Amino acid sequence: MKNTSARWKSPLRGRLWWLVAIPVLLLAAYVVVARQLMLLVPDYRQELEAAIEEHLGFAIVIEQLDGSMDGLTPRLQGRGLTLPHAEGEPSLRLDEVSVSVAVSVLQGSVRG
């Protein structure tokens, strides 16, 4: 008598392996790509200042902009943010502002 359970275990084991391997590889690719993209964040400081000015209607100055990853969460840090006063004097200066974007892989959503 042949063992029929061994016949279906092998294909099932292969499918389960791929079911686990593919999400792990996709997650690893996400982390690698996100970390590389975070290195480019300082290059977009002027574009961010222009977008904020267009959206809010007044200029903002960002002395330094950095990007990093905190686990799976991208984090943007701005240092030396200045909102100018109407007469040209700084009315508000923030030494450091940090923004994190929570990416939920399981829920498929993004929260800021």
Query: What is the spatial distance between Cα 30 and Cα 62, in angstroms, rounded to a whole number?
Result: 28
Model confidence at 94: pLDDT above 70 = yes
For residue 91, the model assigns a pLDDT of: 78
Amino acid 92 reads: L
pTM of the shown model: 0.67
Write the pLDDT tens digit of every residue in 18-58.
899 999 999 899 889 999 999 999 999 999 999 989 998 88
Over residues 59-86, mean pLDDT: 89
Q: 7-22 in b/e burial notation, b at 16+ Cβ within 10 A?
A: eeeeeeeeeeeeeeee
Ranges of each domain in the chain:
4-111
Please name every residue paired with 99 in a beta bridge, in sequence order, or none if there are none.
76
